[in-house]
Structure 1
């Protein structure tokens, strides 16, 4: 199996080349640098916004080579060295108003992130997640408290993040489905402690669409792309890119849809795959 034609490697971060925010294996870094020096574009594809995602992309010297990556689950494509978006998929302002008002009525803490790095509107409902409070997580962002009943000046919102108690989750999902929000917003669910966290982005935005858009901008063909991922928010990439690689620590759904599988992130699975099939062409 030779993949020596690859011109773009797009990789997820956490669980793929990172572990709890740190480089999971130095061999990944070595191989990603080596393949970049040979002219292959390397980009990270992350759910994180530019402010935190670009810092992690720089850990792999993306800013020194291709200098472009995909952020906010595909909503933004920007250079890494500084915030210069070449693509941004925002959410309709009337939808933003409706969403923020409804979450306030349901007493659900909500952040509406904008394309401005680290900026978010907040509906002023306290985020009662112990570990986030202990880490002063919200303080990392430029949070703008608003009165949702009167505020109308939303600018370039790209993502909602809500912190919903389990007892409120069913009612929130019922409203989401009954009002056909699933036709205009993609949703992703995760957990911090016992608190479900949902992220919503424009239906047109996804990691998969982000990779296709980046390839178009770089004039790269579909079969010249190689992707790596491990979790459910990566699945849109696996649905559209033929050369897809699941990490050994991936969730079963990713392994099922992937064309290839490599070692775990802790064992340098990305680096091992690149060395064997992209650099050596075995």
Structure 2
């Protein structure tokens, strides 16, 4: 494995760069400074809200590229590079379907704000980890903001209780199991692979010059773009099938161990 040509490092957040306590290690921030010295770009690519991502990476937020909401929003500091919203009519249809699923809770994700309905208040403690900027509404149908993702939460298991009811929509939008409790709905072009492809082309980065880390199904398309694609030891089986390499778990510094080899 020859990592000497790497120009860009891309990492998912939850289950990948973040440990199970949702923390970024001090070691990563040390390694980031060394990446900068070698002019290697770092991209945080997550299903999280933009504000939530930069909160986790606050010390370096001015020096990174951010792929948020599974690729629906891409930013370089304050500059928007890509925004891919869900059509208004489709949003209304999706909310009706989600409301018919027992135990499912919908979150509307705008570019910079999330919207919950009052039923979700029970789980607010869990949701605030992923959405640092939010509003609570009586009726999500009244939200007029441009929506770039609908996240659907189930407090037991999203793949078991939510995905079967939504997978029939895959011909018209991206339906991704993005974590144990989450299924994400995005525009068909709003995924991490589409966003990363745009960034690679804009920065002149080839498939053998990018290093990508991921752990869940919303990482599959971006992992396919890289010769040096790494699944975490704790990754979903689908990710381990797609990735060319494997590293240790997010609680065992899987990203940091590979970055040390790169450096």
Is residue 16–residue 232 contact of structure 2 (8 Å, CA) maintained in 1? yes
Q: Identify the match of residue 67 of structure 2 among 67, 70, 94.
A: 70
Rounded Cα–Cα distance in structure 1 between residues aligned with 2:10 and 2:240: 17
- Kindly indicate whether residue 103 of structure 2 is the aligned counterpart of residue 143 of structure 1: no
Give structure 1 stretches of 5+ with no counterpart: none
Alpha-carbon deviation of 1:190?
5.9
Rounded Cα–Cα distance in structure 1 between residues aligned with 2:164 and 2:235: 30
Shift in CA distance, 213/109, structure 1 to aligned 2, threshold 3 Å? same
> What SS does the aligned partner of 1:249 have?
coil
> What SS does the aligned partner of 1:189 have?
strand
Rounded Cα–Cα distance in structure 2 between residues aligned with 1:165 and 1:16: 21
Partner of 2:95: 100
Alpha-carbon deviation of 1:53?
0.9
Alpha-carbon deviation of 1:44?
0.7
Rounded Cα–Cα distance in structure 1 between residues aligned with 2:139 and 2:106: 12
Q: Identify the match of residue 109 of structure 1 among 100, 105, 110.
A: 105
Equivalenced residues, count: 260
TM-score normalised per structure 2? 0.83
> What SS does the aligned partner of 2:39 have?
coil
Give structure 2 stretches of 5+ with no counterpart: none
- Kindly indicate whether residue 253 of structure 2 is the aligned counterpart of residue 271 of structure 1: no
> What SS does the aligned partner of 2:10 have?
strand
- Structure 1 vs Structure 2 CA RMSD: 3.2
Alpha-carbon deviation of 1:134?
4.6
Partner of 2:85: 90
Alpha-carbon deviation of 1:246?
1.9
Task: String of CA shifts for 1:73-112, please: whole Å, max 9, x gaps.
Answer: 11110124x4x32101111111112222444466753221
- Kindly indicate whether residue 227 of structure 2 is the aligned counterpart of residue 227 of structure 1: no
Shift in CA distance, 221/98, structure 1 to aligned 2, threshold 3 Å? same
Alpha-carbon deviation of 1:266?
2.9
Partner of 2:119: 126
Matching of residues 214-253 of structure 1 within 5 Å:
214-253=199-238
> What SS does the aligned partner of 2:251 have?
coil
TM-score normalised per structure 1? 0.78
Is residue 12–residue 45 contact of structure 2 (8 Å, CA) maintained in 1? yes
Decide which structure has the larger Cα Rg and report it: 1
Partner of 1:21: 22
Q: Identify the match of residue 157 of structure 1 among 136, 147, 156.
A: 147
Shift in CA distance, 15/79, structure 1 to aligned 2, threshold 3 Å? same
Structure possessing the higher relative contact order (Cα contacts under 8 Å, 6 or more residues apart): 1
Alpha-carbon deviation of 1:184?
1.9
Shift in CA distance, 199/220, structure 1 to aligned 2, threshold 3 Å? same
